[in-house]
Structure 1
């Protein structure tokens, strides 16, 4: 049965045009735990994009949630999985895609709060939230608090991550208007998208926690770290503003990341963010 907002509308109310977008490669238990974390006052629709998992991900039964699967023919990477998800949601008439990754947990009412803000701010194409970083045991490590103001995000886009990708709600038509998720910048597909969105729209963050982000040494930031840094450097050079000192600082920071071991960098982050 093909699902659409029209068939969901009478039950979902204010969240009828919102879809949770979760790409997954293996990790059935993490997928189930992540979807079960959503606590909203209306039913939630979720699309899992199974990127060639072996065995295939099975759509879990989650109370208050309608879960569907989109299966990629083979493992092609998160960039292709996300773009396939965006196109599927657009074809079904959804307006907003709320990103989350397997293993992460949503703060209660995250979807309602983000949608309400985007409805009152039509210039917004992406809206993230502050994020509590935790370890695999769920113990807090540090808090990510990117700027809330769109102008400040543009100024500091390379000095610190402008948005925490799995915390973001995206306006689907805006994402498609700028070309969607691309494979041109491997492992930095989120920054690539955010930078293109910032050229035509606003991006912002809710100044309150919206996500528990699991620091996973098997995740992209760890396993594809060098590729991610190279892609980020390429993006920095493409959008570099020599008159913005923050771009110079961001470039120096990324070069330092290139030579700093991953675990050492996480320890530094814990100290820096804990002091704020």
Structure 2
């Protein structure tokens, strides 16, 4: 795999960017996700195989260099991402473009995010608007996340102000705040974003960057209670009594904690039907 250099040629303007994808089984989803990237420059990818059986195999795709970093055993997404960031740093990458197996990238996403981060050195994490789709690919609704850093901070607990698999992160900033951690299981992304926003800014581009697959077998469904408890712990730690949206976010997560998942799923389906009408 090529190592990024300080001087990037026009054909390798993404040479300091690596797509960072943790994966546990799901070879077909890995291949489908990587095949969705469309960029003018060559794309570099680091897959962290979190103990898959059989092991994830790097697909052969045009305009793409792919490396697989293998974890010795399945340790969870938190440890996989932590190892991925360290692998990117060791290879000299400046930017980590997150995506999860099963999601799809919008054309030109990487170039747009890198250009913004180059122009805004205090922004450590940059997301994009996200189209949520069903497992079959049917559009459900659009996540139009707030764009400006102040709004991202203000709404951080009330709504999804940063969509993890749509993010591009500065590798040095992630490492400076302690990398991904296992302290808040299933909410490792929110934990990282909160620590980043203590020292840097986070923002969103008001453009479609990701097609996010709503998978009821994903972390948000299978580890729902753990995720809510971790989120509540983070809310308690970073709670701002002067921010009304922190209060709204606290009430929302307490409601989620006591509401059966089946009831929430029914409400979501009703919401999806409203958006589709």
Q: Shorter-normalised TM-score: what interval? A: over 0.9
Check the 8 A contact 1:11/1:43 in 2, yes or no. no
The secondary structure found in structure 1 opposite 2:19 is strand
Change (3 A) 1:126 1:34: same
Check the 8 A contact 2:20/2:97 in 1, yes or no. yes
TM-score scaled to structure 2, two decimals?
0.95
Deviation at 1:229, TM superposition (A): 0.2
Q: For residues 129 and 240 of structure 2, what CA distance do their matches in structure 1 show?
A: 26
Check the 8 A contact 2:127/2:163 in 1, yes or no. yes
Change (3 A) 1:54 1:8: farther
1:134 matched residue in structure 2: 133
Q: For residues 60 and 81 of structure 1, what CA distance do their matches in structure 2 show?
A: 20
Which contiguous aligned blocks of 4+ residues in structure 1 show a shift greater than 4 angstroms? Answer: 7-12
1:274 matched residue in structure 2: 275
Structure 1, gaps ≥5 residues long: none
Question: Structure 1 residues 2-11 or 240-249, which shifts more?
Answer: 2-11
Q: For residues 144 and 248 of structure 1, what CA distance do their matches in structure 2 show?
A: 22
Q: For residues 240 and 77 of structure 2, what CA distance do their matches in structure 1 show?
A: 29
1:86 matched residue in structure 2: 85
1:209 matched residue in structure 2: 208
1:155 matched residue in structure 2: 154
Q: Give the aligned length.
A: 274
Deviation at 1:5, TM superposition (A): 1.1
Per-residue deviation, residues 188-239 of structure 1 (Å, max 9, x unmatched): 0000000000000000011111000001111111110000000000000000
The secondary structure found in structure 2 opposite 1:173 is helix
CA RMSD of aligned residues (A): 1.8
Check the 8 A contact 2:11/2:40 in 1, yes or no. no
1:1-276 aligned within 5 A: 3-6=2-5, 9-10=8-9, 12-269=11-268, 271=271, 274=275
Q: For residues 204 and 116 of structure 2, what CA distance do their matches in structure 1 show?
A: 10
Deviation at 1:20, TM superposition (A): 0.1
Check the 8 A contact 1:143/1:274 in 2, yes or no. no
Per-residue deviation, residues 20-60 of structure 1 (Å, max 9, x unmatched): 00000000000000000000001100000000000000000
Deviation at 1:14, TM superposition (A): 1.3
Q: For residues 201 and 79 of structure 1, what CA distance do their matches in structure 2 show?
A: 22
Deviation at 1:263, TM superposition (A): 4.7
Check the 8 A contact 1:127/1:169 in 2, yes or no. yes
